[in-house]
Structure 1
Amino acid sequence: MKLNDSKLRELGIAVVQVEAQAIARLEEQINENFIAACKLLFNCKGRVVVTGMGKSGHIGGKIAATLASTGTPAFFVHPGEASHGDLGMITPADVVIALSNSGETTEVLTILPIIKRLGVPLIAITGNPDSTLGNLATVWLNVSVEQEACPLGLAPTSSTTAALVMGDALAVSLLEARGFTRDDFAMSHPGGSLGKRLLLRVSDIMHVGPELPLVPESALISHALLEMTEKKLGMTAVVEANNRVIGIFTDGDLRRMLGRNLDINMTPITEVMTLHCTVIAPDMLAAEALQIMEQKKINALIVVDQHQCAIGALNMHDLLIAGIV
């Protein structure tokens, strides 16, 4: 069969529509069973153990990862491996979430007697209300769908999407119930760009000590230019005797003064600096510093303490190297 652009688009839209309808119907299943499942997970003293076979297993792995990253300790156990030793990972303090659209997956059913013997609460996510898994569960969550998006009705599509959304609903509901914060989320995501944006402070990347560009208010323009050239941040702070910031001199100020025919060896920096410049605190998030730069269309910031004394500086390049931009 030849590829046909309109036909491909038509097929793609049909899949989206079928799966969207499946998710919409899932709203009816956010009921007393869902509340009971949330309470079991919230009160779990151990960890949440998620299991499932095949495509349900892939969905289960994602659900476990989402729970773990949002304040509910969880991990995935392959049911095939569980019956060969990995059941030792499950303790009486845990809660098990088992996924199987049919509710009759052999590998899952094989480990249920041990789970029940341990007295571990079992949450079943299945599309079959009369299944063995559903009947043995402490709580059954219905993710049945009218049809799969696969035109053959064979490949798990709508059913796996519904199971994934149900898992997300559990995880996010628990997140809210636990009072899980942005800082909590960042602590479990320190490696990626998201973690950096939520964790990295200005104090972690600012230039300090000998790297901090600053000149006294008595300095001449030539002195300020030398300081800017040496420190390579595209600016210098202008300070009083106690290092209290009174202004900033930037590359932009330099360009603006070129048309004034000023003698850089005779003119004080106070005549060309920018007064009332924007300053930031060291405990501010680096991502917030980036937002300030973008809003004010500036490329560098002076960092000050509670007395408005210069203690550091950073520019857009620093944020780029840190992975914030």
Structure 2
Amino acid sequence: MSSAVPASPFDSARAIQMGRQALTVESRALAELAPRLGEVFAAAVARILACQGRVAVMGIGKSGHVGRKIAATLASTGTPALFVHPAEASHGDLGMVTPGDIVLALSNSGESEELNALLPALKRLGVPLFAMTGRAQSTLASHADLVLDSAVAEEACPLQLAPTASTAAQMALGDALAVALLDARGFKAEDFALSHPGGALGRKLLSHVRDLMREGEALPRVSPGTSFTDLMREMSAKALGMAVVVDGEDRVQGIFTDGDLRRLVESGRDLRALTAAEVATPRPRTVLADALAVDAADLMEAARITVVLVVDAERHLLGAVSFNDLMRAKVI
């Protein structure tokens, strides 16, 4: 940790000014980068699309940190990619790169010693080399098959030393590659979810009703002639806030819920004389087992209900899924 002491008391106005200046410099760098994308960028996208292997991203220092992010973004959007550290590559990790791959090398100066030391070995492997650099006349650029221009007019660092605008440009250019590739592949939200099964989107797009529904003995069900007393016992035993009325072939005839109970009590009727068929709500809301869980959640919200029944095409009862089930599965 640095032991340097500020030369003067902290100036909040100065801090805000410097922060805004940094953002202005970086946003200008990105705005100037966009018009420079042209046929070389398109060629890079086309060749990566045709690649039978992976994109091996390399970079050292701050460019290495950016490279890791670019590799991760490519991999999660349909383009197989990995990050290979140049220093480790010199000691065996170059074996991670195979002849069917493409190497994307990041270096703002184009003169990173660890990266350029690999150029002869990459040449022998015969892998295409794409350079992302701020210097078109650099050593790295001169050995590359394609050069993606990431040059910036100035760094956001007032000392013009710390990589700031230059790394922002590299990051944005990597995102531009990923987005163009995603679009060219016809990559969809469902594909994204497959590589993010633990994320919120993955849970929404990969979880089906059959994965979450309660079934078998956990499901409260009664026949149409069941007495009101036995109906209440079934509801209490299964603690789902409802009971399903089914016929002899297990087809759904109706549903009786806690809400129905409250309304029935308020009506003043003699509950003991009633049967399940008489108190149940007919034609309850249902979903199929292969429906997405998020669709069940949308149905509950639209109908203002807390449980939806799961049926097959002939309305045979298969299960039920509740709002709490969806909450526990983090679908909602």
Same fold per superposition (TM over 0.5): yes
Of 197, 206, 209 in structure 1, the residue corresponding to residue 204 of structure 2 is: 197
What is the alpha-carbon distance in structure 2 between the residues aligned to residue 3 and residue 281 of structure 1?
63
Within the alignment, does 1:149 sit opposite 2:148 as a pair? Answer: no
Spell out, residue by residue over 1:55-84, the C-alpha distance to the aligned partner (whole angstroms, 9 max, x if none).
110110111111111221111000011111
Within the alignment, does 1:215 sit opposite 2:222 as a pair? Answer: yes
Contact 1:220 1:264 in 2 (8 A): no
Of 296, 300, 318 in structure 2, the residue corresponding to residue 311 of structure 1 is: 318
- For 2:289, the equivalent position in structure 1 comes to 282
- For 2:258, the equivalent position in structure 1 comes to 251
- For 1:123, the equivalent position in structure 2 comes to 130
Deviates more, 1:147-156 or 1:87-96: 147-156
Deviation at 1:4, TM superposition (A): 4.7
Task: Kindly provide the amino acid, as one letter, of the partner of residue 223 in structure 2.
Answer: P
Instruction: State the percentage of identical aligned residues.
Output: 49
Contact 1:46 1:95 in 2 (8 A): yes
What is the alpha-carbon distance in structure 2 between the residues aligned to residue 25 and residue 87 of structure 1?
35
Within the alignment, does 1:89 sit opposite 2:96 as a pair? Answer: yes
Task: Kindly provide the amino acid, as one letter, of the partner of residue 238 in structure 2.
Answer: K
Length-normalised TM-score, structure 1: 0.94
- For 1:168, the equivalent position in structure 2 comes to 175
Deviation at 1:263, TM superposition (A): 2.6
Deviates more, 1:188-197 or 1:105-114: 188-197
- For 2:18, the equivalent position in structure 1 comes to 11
Which secondary structure state, in structure 1, belongs to the residue aligned with residue 243 of structure 2? strand
Which secondary structure state, in structure 2, belongs to the residue aligned with residue 308 of structure 1? coil
- For 2:84, the equivalent position in structure 1 comes to 77
Spell out, residue by residue over 1:292-313, the C-alpha distance to the aligned partner (whole angstroms, 9 max, x if none).
2223322111001011121100
Deviation at 1:5, TM superposition (A): 4.5
Contact 1:233 1:314 in 2 (8 A): no
* Structure 2: stretches of 5+ with no match in the other structure: 1-7
What is the alpha-carbon distance in structure 2 between the residues aligned to residue 7 and residue 282 of structure 1?
60
- For 2:3, the equivalent position in structure 1 comes to none
What is the alpha-carbon distance in structure 2 between the residues aligned to residue 173 and residue 248 of structure 1?
51
Task: Kindly provide the amino acid, as one letter, of the partner of residue 104 in structure 1.
Answer: E
Contact 1:77 1:86 in 2 (8 A): yes
- For 1:242, the equivalent position in structure 2 comes to 249
Task: Kindly provide the amino acid, as one letter, of the partner of residue 281 in structure 1.
Answer: L
What is the alpha-carbon distance in structure 2 between the residues aligned to residue 267 and residue 68 of structure 1?
61
Aligned-pair Cα RMSD in Å:
1.8
What is the alpha-carbon distance in structure 2 between the residues aligned to residue 8 and residue 92 of structure 1?
50
Residues 16/216 of structure 1: CA separation in 2 closer, same or farther (3 Å cut): farther
Deviation at 1:3, TM superposition (A): 4.2
Which secondary structure state, in structure 1, belongs to the residue aligned with residue 117 of structure 2? helix
Residues 238/11 of structure 1: CA separation in 2 closer, same or farther (3 Å cut): farther
Which secondary structure state, in structure 1, belongs to the residue aligned with residue 272 of structure 2? coil
* Structure 1: stretches of 5+ with no match in the other structure: none
What is the alpha-carbon distance in structure 2 between the residues aligned to residue 192 and residue 107 of structure 1?
36
What is the alpha-carbon distance in structure 2 between the residues aligned to residue 306 and residue 109 of structure 1?
64
What is the alpha-carbon distance in structure 2 between the residues aligned to residue 51 and residue 40 of structure 1?
18
Task: Kindly provide the amino acid, as one letter, of the partner of residue 263 in structure 2.
Answer: R
Deviation at 1:124, TM superposition (A): 0.7
Of 15, 18, 43 in structure 2, the residue corresponding to residue 36 of structure 1 is: 43
What is the alpha-carbon distance in structure 1 between the residues aligned to residue 9 and residue 308 of structure 2?
59
